[in-house]
Amino acid sequence: MATIEVSEFASTVAELAPSTHVATIAGDLDLYNAEELRAQLAPLIEREHETLIVEMSGVPFIDSTALGVLVAAAKQLRSRAGRLVVASSDPRFRRLLEITGLLAVLVLEPNLTQAVERYGDDASF
């Protein structure tokens, strides 16, 4: 019998500037923890002019439900003159965004360093 390993979901949020935060996400993102992800991001996406960088180097798997949470967060931030930036070097994640057309909705940077350099400044709008 095959063993399936499931990565536990974990997240932390750090403030880089008054309107710039980094949410570091680790573990599988799926139907079972999508609501927890949504709750973690909710206070940040309700703010005006917020830049939220979601660092996902520790995410080995994401399903459509969790992807929908990120898309909804990006749209809500955009409606408040903010933005969501995803930092991930995983070529599978980039390919997923490409084939679903979500690169038009989500900003993708290859790592946290580049995301912060490009979008971490409050005045970069």
Closest by CA position to 52, among listed 27, 93, 26, 87: 87
CB distance 77 to 52 below 8 Å: yes
Which pLDDT belongs to residue 6? 55
> Is there a domain that residue 89 lies in?
yes
> Is there a domain that residue 68 lies in?
yes
For the chain, how long is the longest CA-to-CA vector? Answer: 55
Which pLDDT belongs to residue 74? 98
Mean pLDDT by 10 residues, the chain (125 residues): 65 95 96 95 95 97 97 98 97 96 96 96 59
CB distance 108 to 74 below 8 Å: no
> Is there a domain that residue 3 lies in?
no
Query: Based on the structure, what is the number of domains in the chain?
Result: 1
> Is there a domain that residue 125 lies in?
no
For residue 23, give both structure tokens.
Answer: 């949410």
> Is there a domain that residue 2 lies in?
no
| Helix %, strand %, coil % of the chain (to 5) | 40, 25, 35
pLDDT digits (tens, 9 = 90+) for 27-37: 999 999 999 99
Closest by CA position to 77, among listed 43, 111, 101: 43
Which pLDDT belongs to residue 8? 86
> Is there a domain that residue 57 lies in?
yes
Which pLDDT belongs to residue 121? 76
> Is there a domain that residue 51 lies in?
yes
Which pLDDT belongs to residue 124? 53
Closest by CA position to 28, among listed 104, 93, 114, 112: 93
Domain span holding position 52: 10-119
> Is there a domain that residue 15 lies in?
yes
Q: Please enumerate in sequence order all residues whose Cβ is within 8 A of that of 24, keeping only pairs 6 or more positions apart, or say none.
A: 11, 12, 13, 14, 55, 58
CATH code at position 113: 3.30.750.24
Q: Which pTM value belongs to this model?
A: 0.91
